[in-house]
Amino acid sequence: MKILVINCGSSSIKYQLFESDGWHVMVKGGVDRIGEPMAEFRQIWFQGDTVEERLKESLHIPDHRRGLQRVIEALYDAGPLNEAAELGAVGHRVVHGGERFHSPARIDAAVVGAIRETVPLAPLHNPANLDGIEVTRSLLPGIPQVAVFDTAYHQTMPPVAWRYAVPLSLYQEYRVRRYGFHGTSHQYVARRAAEFLGRPLADCNLITLHLGNGASATAIAGGRSVDTSMGLTPLEGLVMGTRGGDIDPGVLVYLSRNAQMNIDDLDDLLNRRSGLLGVCGVNDMREIVRQAEAGQQDARLAIELFCYRLKKYIGAYLAVLGRVDALVFTGGIGENSAEIRARACDNLASCGIVIDLEANHSAQRTERRVSPDGSRVAALVIPTNEELEIARLTLATLD
Ligand code: ADP
């Protein structure tokens, strides 16, 4: 069966087509800069070991409808689809599922309505996700569609982890609570880590660290998320590319009183001008590492802040979980930066966390152990694959 995974951002569409027999990718591609004078569309084709870019175009794509039309046309023109009936299902990434969705949901009018109700919680992302769902439903009528939520995996958190210490009425009236994000990635790497350790996931306690442009840590007990670093929004927790993570909320009150910053200014500050970018003027970790090596003090401090916050969360989740079987690194930074992994785990030997220098610097890019054999907590690098997890969950939801 062929399964199409669609991820609609505010001005982009990413997609991958999987063959469920063996779960290999047949094609993937994307549209960037939707709504700008010139958008970019590309599709890459995978066949055995061959990877071929067959389509690359610059064209005007005014909205998601036109973008998805182009994607679906391309799947027929350049292959590998001959007719819609070959498509078993479409899985959509949806950022916020609120409290309603604890697992993926087969899309119908009620599910669309419930996703619409969560728009105030994710005003940038959920409207784009909804556009994608509605346009795909009209372009591919009769093909089952499934919504896979970034928040759903964390719905197993206990109230002590998800309640903020604010008046109950804010939760009752406005659903102010912690939700957590990157759930699909944490769930995928947790499952792969258990397989790597050769143990049932239900017996594994893990700390998973998704370190990309956005970053989050999750404490997993017996395969279930029991705490995570992001909250009502993806702003809480770790230091990220352009978001600073944890901050004294008093800073915002202070700035609004003393720096004439209004809500939009604060939103811009917290989402787009903070984090690594705020500290050193650059949000790309590879470039920051280069600048730090060249002696730039701000870049060095940005790396130190990033790793120090990470270490604090590792410590917190060791305390939450009691016993930890593995610490799992994923995301662009977690998978590729030996330096960040080593710094985050520096001086944690008394907690059973040790990094093996040679294994950590190995050029291997697949799933691997970077701690010495026999260390109490295995440190693993597990490349994430959110699209594959969405495809798998989509199929599982239809069964
Ligand atoms: P996204 O969250 O957008 O999916 P990724 O998971 O691809 O992002 O992560 C992007 C981040 O990973 C960037 O900060 C990039 O610099 C960083 N990164 C990628 N390769 C390396 C590397 N070798 N060393 C350090 N950082 C890296």
299-314 tens-digit pLDDT: 999 999 999 999 999 9
Which residues in the chain show pLDDT less than 70?
Answer: none
Provide the 8-state DSSP code for 22.
T
pTM to 2 decimal places: 0.95
Determine the pLDDT at residue 231. 98
Determine the pLDDT at residue 381. 98
Q: Minimal CA–CA distance to 208: which of 339, 324, 356, 367?
A: 324
Determine the pLDDT at residue 376. 96
Determine the pLDDT at residue 394. 97
- Pick from 189, 208, 213, 280 the residue to mutate for probing ligand 1's pocket: most ligand atoms within 8 Å of its CB: 213
Q: Say if ligand 1 is within 6 A of residue 12 CB.
A: no
249 cis-preceded (ω within 30 degrees of 0): no
Determine the pLDDT at residue 83. 80
At 233-245, the pLDDT tens digits run 999 999 999 999 9
DSSP calls for 63-84: SHHHHHHHHHHHHHHTSS-SSG
User: CB-based contacts of 127: which residues, under 8 Å, 6+ apart?
Assistant: 10, 119
Tell me phi and psi for residue 140, to 5 degrees. Answer: -125, 65
Q: For ligand 1, what atom is nearest to the CA of residue 276?
A: 14
Q: Say if ligand 1 is within 6 A of residue 289 CB.
A: yes
Beta strand 39-47 with 205-211 is unpaired
- Dihedral sign for Cα 385, 311, 354, 302, please: positive
Q: Say if ligand 1 is within 6 A of residue 284 CB.
A: yes
